[in-house]
Amino acid sequence: MDKECIGCGLCEAMCHKKAIRIIEDKDGSFCDRNTELCDNCGVCSKLCPVEQLKEKEELSQVDTVAIGRSKDEHVVTNSASGGIVSETLMHLFRTGQIDAAIVAFFDHHANIYGDVIENEGDVLKHSGSYYHTSNQLINVKKIKQYNKLAVVGLPCHIDGIKNYCKLTGQMDKVITISLFCTIGRTYEGFRRFIKHETGFDVAKGEVRDYQSRIGDRKLIHIEDDKGNVYECPDEKYKFTMDFFSANRTCLECRKMYGLSADISVGDAWHKVNEENGVKQKRAIISANTKYGEVLLGTLRESLQLEYVTNGAYELASSQRYGTGLKQFHNESIVRRLDKIRCLRKLNDNPLLFRVSCRLRGKLLDKLGADTEKVKDQLR
């Protein structure tokens, strides 16, 4: 428990002795438990999703899958992959199906955490994907104040929220929306990248605005308290940081699509549309429960949506590397990922960087080949 952690914040929020603090350093997240305060009640172990993350997701259970984006260009611009999540939340508020939602917030050092919004008007202020660790469940206790909520999170957050609802008898209260996830990146990696690219250290400066993966160029956009703007392409961030700044626990995680959620949303990387040389944002959506199917159906008014046959195959195809990584969980690949992760941590030496990029390229080739094997089985 003290070693394996993805920093969701659930145990810290729920410990009645306030004995837990979630910490992140260069090695990733860990849970710091004060043994003098702890009375061994066991709640934190019951809630922690880490062990569940090691179970492979069954692609054969996938049924209804669609590809699409919002019909509203403003929503698309503000969103990560076409605004499916944002449109879903707005629809749920508009139709009175929820009175609150847990989405991602940022603090004045660009740390990401989950908190509650209470109306449709606030949805777009929290769109886009912040590609680093999120204490998404740190405010989970607020759920009690509401009748029905939507919770947005990565597959690990969805497993965590389900554990919480089960333990507190609130299973019927929550609608879950999962984001796909190949790998989680650390805050430290994000901080280093932004500092290298823009000179701004988010850990030292005051962040007033932070949006990620927005606009046609999919920018990371940061504004400090003096009004200075720092921007860089999200793709460059992902290239520099994917796998290099991963949380150790993420290397063991086998949850790519979050199939335990009502709906799951990711990028339709395999069906990229280009208009005027610009790649159009489009998402792939899996409806995983009966309620999720109904919900997807009712979203047709606000979404351009195309249902696909053989949904499992399309899901696997959409994640060129993630499918291979998580469906096979090839031990030797994980060991090699861990090595390049350590190599990059050592220093920012340009030669080491080039070597680790080359190693990364070879690993991606292998992961891509594993993904092809999964696709062959599903064809």
Ligand X SMILES: Cc1cc2nc3c(=O)[nH]c(=O)nc-3n(C[C@H](O)[C@H](O)[C@H](O)COP(=O)(O)OP(=O)(O)OC[C@H]3O[C@@H](n4cnc5c(N)ncnc54)[C@H](O)[C@@H]3O)c2cc1C
Q: How many residues bind ligand X (CB under 6 A)?
A: 33
| From 58-66, 180-188, 229-237, 354-362, span contacting ligand X (CB under 6 A) | 180-188
DSSP string of 321-368, one letter each residue: THHHHHHH--HHHHHHHHHHHHHHHH---HHHHHHHHHHHHHHHHHHH
| Residues 186, 247 contacting (CB under 8 angstroms) | yes
In this chain, which of 131, 237, 243, 328 binds ligand X, going by CB under 6 A?
131
With respect to ligand X, which residue has the nearer C-beta, 86 or 317? 86
| From 90-98, 125-133, 195-203, 220-228, span contacting ligand X (CB under 6 A) | 125-133
Please name every residue paired with 308 in a beta bridge, in sequence order, or none if there are none: 65
| Residues 138, 108 contacting (CB under 8 angstroms) | no
| From 57-65, 150-158, 228-236, 260-268, span contacting ligand SF4 (CB under 6 A) | 150-158
- In angstroms, the Cα distances linking 191 to 24, 197, 219 are 12, 10, 16
| From 34-42, 280-288, 335-343, 371-379, span contacting ligand SF4 (CB under 6 A) | 34-42
Site for ligand X in 142-161 (CB under 6 A): 152-154
Please name every residue paired with 70 in a beta bridge, in sequence order, or none if there are none: 303
Encoded amino acid at 280, one letter: Q
Q: Give dist(CA 82, CA 284) in Å, integer.
A: 10
Query: Could you tell which of ligand SF4, ligand X, none binds residue 274, using a CB distance below 5 to 8 A set by kind?
Result: none
With respect to ligand SF4, which residue has the nearer C-beta, 90 or 156? 156
Closest approach of Cβ 346 to ligand X, in Å? 24
Residue 248 touches ligand SF4, criterion: CB under 6 A: no
Give the pair of three-digit tokens for residue 196.
């290298």
Closest approach of Cβ 31 to ligand X, in Å? 18
Q: Give dist(CA 17, CA 223) in Å, integer.
A: 37
Residue 129 touches ligand X, criterion: CB under 6 A: yes
| Residues 105, 125 contacting (CB under 8 angstroms) | no
Site track 2-31 with ligand SF4 (rule: CB under 6 A), x = hit: ---xxxxxxx---x-x-xx-x--------x
Going by C-alpha positions, the residue among 297, 234, 232 that lies closest to residue 81 is 234
Q: What sign results for the dihedral spanned by CA atoms 356, 131, 128, 286?
A: positive
With respect to ligand SF4, which residue has the nearer C-beta, 2 or 235? 2
Site track 35-74 with ligand X (rule: CB under 6 A), x = hit: ----------------------------------------
Give the pair of three-digit tokens for residue 159.
């497993």
Q: Give dist(CA 64, CA 277) in Å, integer.
A: 31
| Residues 22, 111 contacting (CB under 8 angstroms) | no
In this chain, which of 24, 25, 39, 300 binds ligand SF4, going by CB under 6 A?
39
In this chain, which of 319, 323, 356, 371 binds ligand X, going by CB under 6 A?
319
With respect to ligand X, which residue has the nearer C-beta, 33 or 106? 106
Closest approach of Cβ 248 to ligand SF4, in Å? 10
Site for ligand SF4 in 183-222 (CB under 6 A): 183-184
Closest approach of Cβ 112 to ligand SF4, in Å? 11
In this chain, which of 24, 28, 44, 59 binds ligand SF4, going by CB under 6 A?
44
| Residues 55, 254 contacting (CB under 8 angstroms) | yes
Q: Give dist(CA 98, CA 219) in Å, integer.
A: 31
DSSP string of 156-210, one letter each residue: HHHHHHHHHHHHHT-GGGEEEEEEP-S--B-HHHHHHHHHHHHS--TTTS-EEEE
In this chain, which of 13, 44, 283, 295 binds ligand X, going by CB under 6 A?
283
Binding footprint of ligand SF4 on the chain (CB under 6 A):
1, 5-11, 15, 17, 19-20, 22, 31, 33, 38-44, 47-48, 50, 53, 154-156, 181, 183-184, 247, 249-250, 253, 255
Residues binding ligand X (CB under 6 A): 79-86, 103-104, 112, 126-131, 134, 136, 152-154, 179-182, 184, 265-267, 283, 319, 322
